[in-house]
Structures are given as C-alpha cells and as structure tokens.
A and B are shown apart, each in its own frame.
Chain A
Amino acid sequence: MSHAQPAGSAAAPQWQLALPYVALALFLGLIGALVWLTRNHDIDTQRSTLINDVLWLEQNLRFLLDRNAAQLAQLAPELAEGTVSAATDGKLQRLLTTENGLNRIILLDATGTIHTARPPMREDHLIGETGRAVPAESVFRLASSMGRPVYGPAYEIAGGSHHFEVHVPAYAGGGLIGVMVGVYSLQDLIARELPWWFSERYRVSVIDADGRELAAKSRVAPLSNELFYTIAFDPPGHGLTLQITAYRGALRWTPILLAASIIALAAIILWSIWQLRRQLLRRHAAEQALRYETQFRKAMEDSLLTGLRARDLKGKITYVNPSFCQTVGFGADELIGQSPPMPYWDPDHLERTQAIHDLVLAGRGPREGVELQFRRKDGCRIDALIFEAPLIDAEGRHTGWMGSVLDITEQKRAREFTRQQEERLQATARLVTMGEMASTLAHELNQPLAAIASYNNGCLNRLAANEVDLVELHDIHEKIARQARRAGEIVRRVHAFVRRSEPKRELVDIAVILRDAIALMEADTRKRGMAVRLDIGERLPDIEADPLMIEQVVVNLVRNGMDAMRDNPRDRRTVTITTREQGGHYVIRVADQGEGITPDIARRLFEPFYTTKQEGMGMGLNICRSIAEAHHGRLRFETRPDGGTVFILSLPMEPA
C-alpha cells in the first residue's frame, strides 16, 4: 500500500486549513476595533455633550449676570431718590433671592459713598478678611468712568467664601447718579443657579488665576479623569475659570455586557472550532484507519485463492474478487450487474444450477456447500465447491448472499482418478477372488467327477469285453457312489457358504433406498454424462427387505442401463426409475434408452459368467436375480417399444 495521499481525499492544502483561524482572528480584531471605536465615539459624544452643557451653563450665567446688571441699573434712580415703591422693593427683594445669586445690593452715589445698602452693611463685611475696601474703589471708578457695568475681582470674606461685585453705573437726567453694586456670592451663584440635572452630572467649580478653588458645587461621587472642561468665567473675569468635571457616570453596563458577550461568544467560537478541529482530526484518523482497513480487506480479498461473489436478494451479482474472475475466466465488469443465468453457468447443467441458485435465494442453500459445474469463458469445465452465507450489512439488514467459490477441479479429478483406481483394483480383486473360488470349486468337483468317469469307463470296457465279474463291479460301483457323495459334499459346502449371505430383513422405505442408490452413483452418472430420473409414484408402505441388497440391485441395474447407453447422443442418456404397486407387489422399473437386448443375448442374460462387457464378470444380473429371489420377488426384463430395455424388480409387499 502506498503512503501517498490519494487524490481527492479530505486533506486540503495548509492554507485552507488555516483560513478559518485567520478569518476568526480578523473577525475578533474587527470586533475589538468596533468596540473600541464605539467606546471612543461614546466618549466623544459625552465630551461634546459636556461642552454643550458647559456652554449652556456659561451662557446661562452670563445671561443671569447681564439681566441682574440691567435690573440694577433700572432700580438705581429710585433708590437714589430714596423713594422706594413697593414694586421696586419687590424687585429688589426678588433680586436678592438666592436664585439670582445676589446677596447684597449697594447704591454708591457719584462720589463713591454708600447711599443705600440692602441688606444693610455690617462692619464685618466691610472689613473682611481681605482687608480691602468694599465696594472696591477701583472698580467703582472704572465703572463710573466707563459708564457700563464692570465686574470686580473675587475676594474672600469672613467664613472662607468668596464674593465678587458688579458695579453698574446709573444715570438719570443725563448725569451719573451713582453706581449700583451687586455683590454676588460665588458659592450661591453656582449652587443656586445650576439646574439639578446639571449638578447631578457635573461637578462645577470656580477657580481663580492661581488655580485655587473658590467655590464648588459637588456631591460625593468619584470624578472622571478625562471628562472635564474649563472655560473662562467672564464676567466676572479676572482670571476666574469655570471648571466642569463630569462625574464618573454610573458604570455603563450595556457596552460592557456587549463586549463581554462578544468576548464570550468569541471564546465559545474558539472553543467550538477547537472542538471541531479535534473532531476533524479524530474523524480524519478514523477515516485513515478505515482506509487502511478497507485496503487491507481488499488486499486480502484480492490475494485470496478462494473466489468471492456477492449477490443481492434478487440474485444479481454485486461484487466479485479477482480470484473468482480468474476461476470463471470472466472479467469483473462482465459479471457485476449480471442476473441469472450467469455467463459462467454450464449450459448442460442449467436446470440444476438454477435450482440451487433459487434454493440459495430462498435461504435454503445447503450449509455444507454444494458442488457445481461451471463453464469458463474459454469453454472448459470446472468443478466448484460453493458455500453461501447471508450478507448482513452494518444495520443488520439482510441485503444479499455471499458465496465463496473453491475451484476443486484438480482435487476432483484426482479424487475421481483415485476412485477409479480403487474401483478397478476392487474389481480386479473381486475378479481374482471369484476366479480363484471358481477355480478351486472346479478343481474340487473335478476330482470326484474324474474318478467317477474313470470307474464308469472301466465298467463300460468290461461290459464291452463281456468280462463281467460281479464282485469286481459291485466293488467299483461302491467306489462310484462314494465319489458321488464326495461331489455332493462339495456342493453342500458351497451352499452353506452362500447361505451365510442371506438377506437381513428390516422394514424399509424403498423410495429412500432408491434415492440413496442414485446419490451413490451421482458422481459416476455425471462423469459419464448420463442422467437418472426418479419417479416415485404414490407413497407406498415400507416393506421387509435388506436395504443394502436392494440398493445393490438398483445400482447394478442403473449401471447396466448406463452401459447400454454409452454410445447414445446426449438427449438419450436417461435412466428412468419408476415405482408403483401392482398386484400386491412393489414394482421398481429401471428403464434405459439403449439398444435393447437381442433374443440371443436374452436367453443367456441371467447365466453366471456370461457377459457382453469387456470388463464384466457376468455375475451382476445373476446376483440381482438371486437377491430378488431371496426376497421372494422376481427380476425380469422387457424391451421398450421406443427402444431400450426395462428391468422390472417386483418384491412382495406382504412378507411371505
């Protein structure tokens, strides 16, 4: 067997095997990239939301501050006049609510002196921790000179919180009437001004130019390291910045779950591919083993000397091995698919072959094998010994028949040769024995007969010479009588010997004996191209007989019949045996299709030692008749009208 991989087998090139892995790696990489991109996109979105929110906040604050400044400017004249209407007072009160971030409104007159303060100023406020003047003069001057609101820097007051001011110059009647100062608390501004959702998401802090945190709105939550935004807090300006830092959002489970499930899926895919690969390898190994096994089996079948032939249930050939092809001389392509009659069947034995074939298909083929004659493609005959067994497939279904065919031509020839040799030897031995017996018997009987003849002749001589001496003659005749007795004794001895082979009676079925006899001669019959047909009529009762002797008679008669048909054409070579009951006798008729028996021969047919055959002894029919008579039956013969002779053995049905 070759180690090269057979073409078209499962073994693909290396790259094809690697392809799934490469694809998988690419897929996983892309999924990873996708996840990363999604996350990046997510962060970007968050950032832009953050920026939007921050801008919105800044806008809001600016709007608030501008609106406050405008209102302050509006309220200034009334405050300056000192007549505060209820409406104005309401407005003032509203401004001073924490929503607006203002916690004090001061009206400075044109000189910078405090005109009014709501709520009223306290000392501590004035001093403050910064120790600076409030409101700051520089801012006042700047505002009054510029004629528009100016924001002052943030400053720390007692308690650690930071304030800043807005100075809004107020004009009336074309002249500066004073400056409205709004004091904002950074903390309040941020704390109050931020909507809840904003402070929920972001920590907002105000940082001065030095980086100190002046105010913050925060809650206890971790902060994101990445998501923060710093924007200038202007107004009030002066280096203040708003820093908005997003809280680290609640863990966003969806992408994590997504990624996790992707990873899990990838893992599962990897694992299943791994399993698949193992399975594949196992399968491959199994296939390899199977292939080896198959090739081993095939090699076995091919090198087998026994022919193998498989047939399906209908008898069609489905497989033959080379040995079978060699035996019958046909190629496998000529045999496979053939239905009976097969090309290698012997036309001369078609019926029998077909019968056996049918028997096998019916599941009643002989277990011990059957011998058949086949004809090779080149026309020569072969003897085959065939064993049939049901063919069972892997599912246990009976799908056909497997036959092993042994070519036994040579063995058979040898066996036949040996058998012939033995037969010849036995015949010779029988002949020698018979000859010796006959010779001894002849010699034994001759002695007294010769003596008697001598005595008798002597007597005749005396009579002729007329010399009769009575005493002498008496003496001689006594001697003659003695010799006659001696001869009689010999004959009696022979008789006693013959009696020892008297038939042994038992109840036998003649039909069985006939079948046995035919089976006994089957090989010989076939060899000589003869046929024996057995026609058992109605079932007759058993009769008392010696089965061996009856068998011997039948064998003898059939052999004689076949001898008589030796020169016949093929279609006239049948010995027919029929049985029937006739007048209280069991009648067995053995009919041949030979030449018949001439009257000349017929007269001497049953004579001992009379024979028409070269190697015959002339005892066969004689013995047959003796056996028939020993059974109180008869053996006779008739000439058939259509040629041939029929020997008729009739045996009494009832014991005599």
Chain B
Amino acid sequence: MTDPRPHIVDDDEAIRDGLQWLFKTRNLASSTWPSAEVFLDAVQPDWQGCVVMDIRMDGMSGLQCFDALRARANTLPVVFITGHGDVPMAVSALKKGAFDFIEKPFNDGDLVEIVMRALEADRLERANVQEQAAVNERLASLTSREREVMHLILEGHYNKVIGDKLNISMRTVEVHRSKIFEKAGVRSAVELAQLLKSSGHSGGG
C-alpha cells in the first residue's frame, strides 16, 4: 500500500467498483474504502497517491474526512465527487485546500486526468519535502561561526567587511566561505541563496 495509488472512498459499492475498474484499465492500482471512518482508521502518514472521495456519504461526510486528514497533517491530495446540489460545498472544500472536485455524472476520462494530476502533485510534493530535508541536513552541519559568515554573505557583504564585522582576518573569512560552499554543495553565493530560498529558508537562522 505504500506505492502511490488512488484511494477510493465511497459508500456506494457500485461506484467504488466502477472506479476501481476504470483505474485498472488505465493501469492504476487503487484501493477502495466503504466509508470515511474505515479509511481514516487505516490511513498511514507514509501513504502516497491521492484520495477520490464522495462528498456526501452516510455517516462521516467527505468534508469531515478531509478536515480530519488535514488535522493529522496528512497532505494526500483529495479529489471530491459531488452530486448536483453539492457544488457550493465542493467549492468551499477547494478553498480549504482540496485538490479538485468533479460533478456526477462525470466524464470518466476527466476524472482519470484529474487523478493523474493529483498523483503527480503528490509525487512532487514528496520530492520537495525530501529535498528540503537534505538541505536542512547540510545546513545543520555548519558551525556557528560558519553560519554567521553565511548570513553576512547572503546579505551581500564583501569578505573584508565581514572580517571587520566579525573582527577576524579576511583570510579566515575566505576559509569559512569555501567551507560553507563545500558543505552546501554550491559554487557561488547566488546558488546558496537560491537553495535556501527554494527549501523555504528565509536566510535567517
């Protein structure tokens, strides 16, 4: 179950079965869940893929389930299936961060496309998270003096100025600088700044 796959949550057995068959014909393995409660009981943080969920179900509704997932910091993209009168509900779900919604009766081709995008989004998100973790790991290896020097570099100061500010020689600054570049795996101050920015660091420490 840890491979990326759509998780189909719907209280209607025919819908679940039909969607599973549909995904299967597009070479997508999927899991089905007869209710929101059952799915929430089973779901693990490391599950990948996406959730395809009916917004209106007996028992816990799709929206409640979505809220519960987000409360657990689960970032699985959620695609809602809505009925005719549920559109406003779906729109509010979108505003909360749902991936998309599709109205019944739906064009199955569209649904598959959406699910594909959701799977891709999930994959990218996970890669992004992983990269972030790597950067953090690299930055964590900097000494405190190196971190000070890094901040001043990012602020755009010359070595001489940094030396004056930290009351160290320009030579020492250059050593720190090369050490920092080496640890961060970058070759210039510009690259360093981009790395920090893309991984969500504001440059502060």
Q: Does A373 contact B (CB under 8 A)?
A: no
Report the minimal beta-carbon distance from B203 to chain A, rounded to whole angstroms: 50
Q: Which of the 9-residue segments A90-98, A300-308, A328-336, A452-460 touches chain B?
A: A452-460
Q: Which of the 9-residue segments B18-26, B135-143, B144-152, B157-165 touches chain A?
A: B18-26
Q: Does A19 contact B (CB under 8 A)?
A: no
Report the minimal beta-carbon distance from A221 to chain B, rounded to whole angstroms: 146
Q: Does A461 contact B (CB under 8 A)?
A: yes
- Residues of B near A446 (CB, < 8 A) are 83-84, 104-105
Q: Which residue on chain B has the smallest CB distance to residue A446? A: B104
Number of A-B contacts (CB under 8 A): 75
Q: Does A415 contact B (CB under 8 A)?
A: no
Q: Which residue on chain B has the smallest CB distance to residue A449? A: B105
Bound CA–CA A88/B114 (angstroms)? 205
Whether A439 and B84, one on each chain, are in contact in the complex, defined by CB atoms closer than 8 angstroms, is yes
Q: Does A486 contact B (CB under 8 A)?
A: yes
What is the 8 Å Cβ interface bit string for chain A, positions 437-473, against chain B (1 contact, 0 not)?
0010011001111111111111101100101000000
Q: Which residue on chain B has the smallest CB distance to residue A465? A: B25
Given that A442-B84, A447-B12, A486-B14 are known contacts, is A455 also in contact with B105, CB under 8 Å in the complex?
no
Whether A458 and B18, one on each chain, are in contact in the complex, defined by CB atoms closer than 8 angstroms, is yes
Bound CA–CA A486/B108 (angstroms)? 20
Bound CA–CA A439/B15 (angstroms)? 18
- Residues of B near A482 (CB, < 8 A) are 14
Q: How many residues of A contact B (CB 8 A)?
A: 27
Whether B18 and A479, one on each chain, are in contact in the complex, defined by CB atoms closer than 8 angstroms, is yes
Bound CA–CA A454/B102 (angstroms)? 13
Q: Which residue on chain B has the smallest CB distance to residue A455? A: B18
Q: Which residue on chain A has the smallest CB distance to residue B103? A: A446
Whether A454 and B15, one on each chain, are in contact in the complex, defined by CB atoms closer than 8 angstroms, is yes
* Residues of B contacting A: mostly: helix
Q: Does B85 contact A (CB under 8 A)?
A: yes
Bound CA–CA A172/B189 (angstroms)? 231
Q: Does B182 contact A (CB under 8 A)?
A: no
Instruction: Out of A454, A462, A465, name the residue touching B108 (CB < 8 Å).
Output: A454
- Residues of B near A439 (CB, < 8 A) are 83-85
- Residues of A near B14 (CB, < 8 A) are 447-448, 451, 479, 482-483, 486
Report the minimal beta-carbon distance from B102 to chain A, rounded to whole angstroms: 10
Q: Does B125 contact A (CB under 8 A)?
A: no
Q: Does A531 contact B (CB under 8 A)?
A: no
Instruction: Out of B15, B25, B81, name the residue touching A461 (CB < 8 Å).
Output: B25
Bound CA–CA A465/B26 (angstroms)? 9
Can you add 14 more A-B contacts, CB < 8 Å, to A439-B83, A443-B83?
A439-B84, A442-B84, A446-B84, A446-B105, A447-B14, A450-B15, A451-B17, A457-B108, A458-B22, A459-B25, A461-B26, A479-B17, A483-B14, A483-B18
Interface residues of B, Cβ cutoff 8 Å to A = 12, 14-15, 17-19, 21-22, 24-26, 56, 81, 83-85, 104-109, 112
Which 8 A-B pairs have CB atoms at the shortest separation, nearest pair first? A454-B18, A457-B108, A461-B25, A451-B14, A451-B18, A458-B25, A458-B21, A458-B22
- List, sorted by A's number, 10 A–B pairs whose CB atoms are closer than 8 Å: A442-B83, A443-B83, A446-B104, A449-B104, A450-B18, A450-B105, A461-B26, A462-B25, A476-B21, A479-B14
